[in-house]
Structure 1
Amino acid sequence: MTAVQPKPTSVGETFDSLSPATDEVVGTYPVHSAEDVRAAVDSARAAAEWWDGLGYAGRADRLRQWKGVITRRLPQLCQVVRDETGKPIADAQLESVLAIEHIAWAGKHARKILGKQRRSAGLLMSNQAATVEYRPLGVVGVIGPWNYPVFTPLGSIVYALAAGNAVVFKPSEYTPGVGKWLVDAFAEIVPEHPVLQLVTGFGETGAALVGAGVDKIAFTGSTATGKKIMAAAAQTLTPVVIEAGGKDPVLVDADADLDAAADATVWGAFSNSGQTCIGVERVYVHERVHDEFVAKVVEKSRDIRAGSDEDAQYGPVTMPSQLAVIRRHIADAIERGGRAVIGGVDSVGDRYAQPTVLVDVPEDSEAVREETFGPTVTIAKVRDMDEAVDKANATRYGLGSTVFSKSRGVELANRLRTGMTAINAPLSFAGIASLPFGGVGDSGFGRIHGPEGLREFARSKAVARQRFTAPLTLTSFDRKESTDALVAKLITIMHGKR
């Protein structure tokens, strides 16, 4: 029996969160109305002023304490993640540990990145002292996904909080319990004001958050939904940061470490049941090592299995409707002449999708062009890395990518049209808190993580302060013709050289 999508148990009141492995009800949560959401945003407005008033040191201390609570209760959090997503405890721990690292980094570096900085005023304005600092936006709305319900939303929440904003968080309807756990833990450390609030429900609740007067929306999810959010936010000129889907490639050069590349491909394609926006979906391999590489991937894939038992490497497909997409992409690839060297259409069940490795798949097939978001991967032979780059870039997506090459890694990475690239290791950019995370094209825009992530949730404030009266008064109707002539002469000397 296939799990059904959560629905309100009483229309307009509550809904159940279900285990995708068993259909067991693991929690019941409110369906917050537009009025509820607006009330949350209104209360967050006052909370934001108080939170900003703590200053960088005060906020860093609270974030440090929150990090400590999450760390000490890590097994409890991981169990909630497993209950709602079905993923193994070890995978839940991995995403939580990475999130903890981001909390630590954002709190520690916010002052340095966002605090007041001096700027050069230039020769003509040398009587001015120029500074810039980054002020919080106010209230940020975060709409999170279900596939990594700790790591991904905290990539926005933490950086927004460190920048001085209050946050209203709407988790996926598939993982409301994870969202509640995180917000409750924060409230223990920040009991004075509702700096981080939770609203739960379905798409209507998310839409209400977009229109509730927040100062920015951070969304992670599908490209189609991201476009709808942008259209709605445009009505009020509410800025957005969109982290959408991906069709991430791996390039394997002739001199690559094939064992490492095969291991990265298998893990990147199948971990979390392939439900990873930066997961491996396409591989382009130099013709000289293609057959050997495929053999290694096949060998490493044989013992990978989906299930709910402790020996399974990954869990069920969390969103039941995705099973049909995975099945369709595999079928289309095979009908077009592709071959499944591992798995195939029959590997997709009513809860779990076992690994599928496809070769000889045409580049215009759905399995190559569209995001599958399941435990499948296509492997294609290319004559050289120029062809690999061309094919890797021939997509409307541009999120993550990986290159395996001993001699040309940096060169190839720089040629890929993606927001992030890992060289000789899988998805390593996601674990480095100082690096920005985000994509181009249909993968979205804006950045979370790193200095760019802090600035994403702040507005720049420029200040020019006159230190002394300038010998040349330029901004006055009383200025003399001789002043204009002198300015023209000076600017010619400074900038008129051929």
Structure 2
Amino acid sequence: MTVMTQAPARPQSGSTFESLNPATGEVVGTHPVQTAEEVQAAVARAREEAAWWGGLSFGERKTHLNAWKTSMTQRLPELAELMRLEMGKPVGDAMLEAGLAMEHVSWAAGHAGRVLGRRRVSPGLMMVNQSASVAFKPLGVVGVIGPWNYPVFTPLGSVAYALAAGNAVVFKPSEHTPGVGAWMVQAFQDAVGRPVLQLVTGLGATGAALCRAGVDKVAFTGSTATGKKVMAACAETLTPVVIEAGGKDSVIVDADADVEAAADAALWGACSNAGQTCIGVERVYVHEKVYDEFLSTITAKAAVLRADRDGKIGPITMPSQVGVIRSHVQDALDHGGRAVVGGIDAVGERFVQPTILVDVPEDSLAVQEETFGPTMTIAKVRTMDEAIEKTNATRYGLGNTVFSKVNGMAIAERVRSGMSAVNGVISFAGIPSLPFGGVGDSGFGRIHGPEGLKEFTYAKAIARQRFKPMINLTSFDRTAKADKQLAQVIGLLHGRAKKR
């Protein structure tokens, strides 16, 4: 049966929405819901600014971006407090997030010239008379759709790299953290004096409008389901996308691991930011030789950890996520799992207490689907082969962590994920020179590092003739003698197997 539904009302100019404190429900700020026409106008303004910004040298852009970074750093406590109010994370965690983001702004600004500037490449023996070079040019205007869980660090991983590459940017922050986004955009305009970085605010329709507004690329961070909608909207205009979507990251603990360090890292990776981290720990696979020690260590640590307004764990930012967390915990318990810490009663209205589940079947929701809360499953494995097989048995492939004194690198190499950390947790995210992104349902494309700079460019190749060729191959005046000489050259170059 087909059910006819009324189309949602088109947003009118002048409409607004409120951002709320997830810990209290109090209103933090009121922001405009911008229409498709208003989004298109922002993109048009950005297009005008892109001509100026893209015409600057890498050094000039570096100066502007460092001025922006300095301005934000000097007001970091103000930004951290706003993050606490809108997103709910403790101020200390907000400061850590913002500090790491400043490191990325600095790296992108300082390395763009080396990564993207014109460089010579070998023309090969067949084209030895040519000088060959390649440079990476800005696309023009990049649309960035940011998440709420890391409202500074994550969007700046796209915004700063796109700007450093010479693009203007139109940024739509999450409707849960629009004030944080507005703060960063205003700081840029105050520091640079030009609206190269534009802000649009609103709900899902505003993000869809940005996809259709004629930008040259869209960078999206969010759920896999929403990422598919972004791709569908961008496909209408053949707008390329980079998608950083969900994860179901694991920690693998080998028999020779530092169990204390592994337990401490796994608990922080699962429960920091209230578990609302795409690269957070959701599954743990522990070698049977150290399983009991690991489980007793982590449960003792988790038992004294609390989520509340003044605790080290903040509230669940998006109210609908509480239901998802509850359903995953309940499904695990219904299928034979046990809660050694927390459980179904740990899932409150705004806060979720740390929950550790064991004996959970591998096909349960808590193992296969992204929970996005301060929970984890812990399973005993006989070998590292088994741990790797189970780690790879989901549709996600974002990040993972390995604890092993001897075999950490070898294990990490076999994990199907875009990133891995060895004897640390999510450390790859804090290293600006490393690319960040996943495979499978975790998305595609990369932010951060040289790959993140190139993500917002196109390659411009130039071949310049240095002297006339001995054999003119690109002419209708080419003779039979020239063809014979060409065949001889090809035979000399490629006709004999090379010794290893």
For the superposition of Structure 1 and Structure 2, which TM-score range results when normalised by the shorter chain?
Answer: over 0.9
Aligned position for 1:189 = 191
How do 1:204-353 and structure 2 match up within 5 A?
204-309=205-310, 312-353=311-352
Amino acid at match of 1:158: A
Distance in 1, Cα, partners of 2:458 & 2:419: 24
Distance in 1, Cα, partners of 2:446 & 2:478: 46
Aligned position for 2:3 = none
1:179 aligns with 2:178: no
Aligned position for 1:4 = none
Amino acid at match of 2:291: H
1:336-375 CA-to-partner distances (Å, cap 9, x unmatched) read 0000000000000000000000000000000000000001
1:139-187 CA-to-partner distances (Å, cap 9, x unmatched) read 0000000000000000000000000000000000000000000000000
1:218-269 CA-to-partner distances (Å, cap 9, x unmatched) read 0000001101111111121111000000000110000000000000010000
Distance in 2, Cα, partners of 1:349 & 1:226: 28
Q: How many residues align?
A: 489
Is the Cα contact below 8 Å between 2:13 and 2:35 reproduced in 1?
A: no
Q: How many angstroms does 1:19 deviate by? A: 0.4
Q: 2:32 aligns with which of 30, 33, 37?
A: 30
Instruction: Compute the TM-score of the two structures, normalised by the length of structure 1.
Output: 0.97
Distance in 2, Cα, partners of 1:488 & 1:9: 67
Q: How many angstroms does 1:485 deviate by? A: 1.0
Q: How many angstroms does 1:104 deviate by? A: 0.6
**Segments ≥4 residues shifted beyond 4 Å:** 7-12
Q: How many angstroms does 1:304 deviate by? A: 1.0
Is the Cα contact below 8 Å between 1:143 and 1:218 reproduced in 2?
A: yes
In structure 2, the residue corresponding to 1:124 is in which secondary structure? Answer: helix
Instruction: Compute the TM-score of the two structures, normalised by the length of structure 2.
Output: 0.97
Aligned position for 2:401 = 402
Amino acid at match of 1:471: M
Q: How many angstroms does 1:429 deviate by? A: 0.2
In structure 1, the residue corresponding to 2:378 is in which secondary structure? Answer: strand
Q: 1:112 aligns with which of 110, 114, 126?
A: 114
Q: How many angstroms does 1:12 deviate by? A: 5.8
Q: 1:140 aligns with which of 117, 134, 142?
A: 142
Distance in 1, Cα, partners of 2:295 & 2:329: 18
Q: How many angstroms does 1:190 deviate by? A: 1.6
How do 1:476-495 and structure 2 match up within 5 A?
476-495=475-494
1:177-210 CA-to-partner distances (Å, cap 9, x unmatched) read 000000000001121x320010000000000000
How do 1:360-379 and structure 2 match up within 5 A?
360-379=359-378
Distance in 2, Cα, partners of 1:9 & 1:272: 33
Report the aligned-residue RMSD: 1.3
Distance in 2, Cα, partners of 1:133 & 1:9: 42
Amino acid at match of 2:451: E
Is the Cα contact below 8 Å between 2:157 and 2:448 reproduced in 1?
A: yes
Distance in 2, Cα, partners of 1:177 & 1:351: 21
In structure 1, the residue corresponding to 2:441 is in which secondary structure? Answer: helix
Distance in 2, Cα, partners of 1:69 & 1:483: 65
Q: How many angstroms does 1:124 deviate by? A: 1.2
In structure 1, the residue corresponding to 2:237 is in which secondary structure? Answer: coil
1:378-410 CA-to-partner distances (Å, cap 9, x unmatched) read 000000000000000001000010000001000
Is the Cα contact below 8 Å between 1:357 and 1:376 reproduced in 2?
A: yes
Distance in 2, Cα, partners of 1:483 & 1:304: 80
In structure 2, the residue corresponding to 1:278 is in which secondary structure? Answer: coil
Aligned position for 2:390 = 391
Q: How many angstroms does 1:471 deviate by? A: 1.3
Q: In structure 1, list runs of 5 or more residues that go unmatched.
A: 1-6
Amino acid at match of 2:272: S
In structure 1, the residue corresponding to 2:461 is in which secondary structure? Answer: strand
Amino acid at match of 1:290: Y
Distance in 2, Cα, partners of 1:200 & 1:8: 15
Is the Cα contact below 8 Å between 2:245 and 2:443 reproduced in 1?
A: yes
Is the Cα contact below 8 Å between 1:8 and 1:14 reproduced in 2?
A: no
Aligned position for 2:130 = 128
Distance in 1, Cα, partners of 2:493 & 2:230: 48
Q: 1:12 to 1:471 in 2, by over 3 A?
A: same
Aligned position for 1:435 = 434
Aligned position for 2:5 = none
Amino acid at match of 1:337: G
Q: How many angstroms does 1:427 deviate by? A: 0.6
Distance in 2, Cα, partners of 1:473 & 1:284: 63
1:69-111 CA-to-partner distances (Å, cap 9, x unmatched) read 1111000000110010111000000110000000110010000
Q: How many angstroms does 1:27 deviate by? A: 0.5
Q: How many angstroms does 1:8 deviate by? A: 12
Distance in 2, Cα, partners of 1:14 & 1:253: 52
1:15-38 CA-to-partner distances (Å, cap 9, x unmatched) read 111101111111000000000000
Q: In structure 2, list runs of 5 or more residues that go unmatched.
A: 1-8
In structure 2, the residue corresponding to 1:99 is in which secondary structure? Answer: helix
Distance in 2, Cα, partners of 1:232 & 1:74: 36
Q: How many angstroms does 1:497 deviate by? A: 1.0
Q: 1:28 to 1:429 in 2, by over 3 A?
A: same
Is the Cα contact below 8 Å between 1:17 and 1:28 reproduced in 2?
A: yes
Aligned position for 1:55 = 57
Distance in 1, Cα, partners of 2:11 & 2:142: 30
Distance in 1, Cα, partners of 2:233 & 2:74: 40
Amino acid at match of 1:95: E
1:287-320 CA-to-partner distances (Å, cap 9, x unmatched) read 11111101111011011111112xx011100000
1:155 aligns with 2:154: no
1:14 aligns with 2:16: yes
Amino acid at match of 2:375: T
Is the Cα contact below 8 Å between 2:11 and 2:33 reproduced in 1?
A: no
Amino acid at match of 1:452: E
Is the Cα contact below 8 Å between 2:67 and 2:192 reproduced in 1?
A: no
Distance in 1, Cα, partners of 2:135 & 2:65: 21
Amino acid at match of 2:200: V
Q: How many angstroms does 1:9 deviate by? A: 12
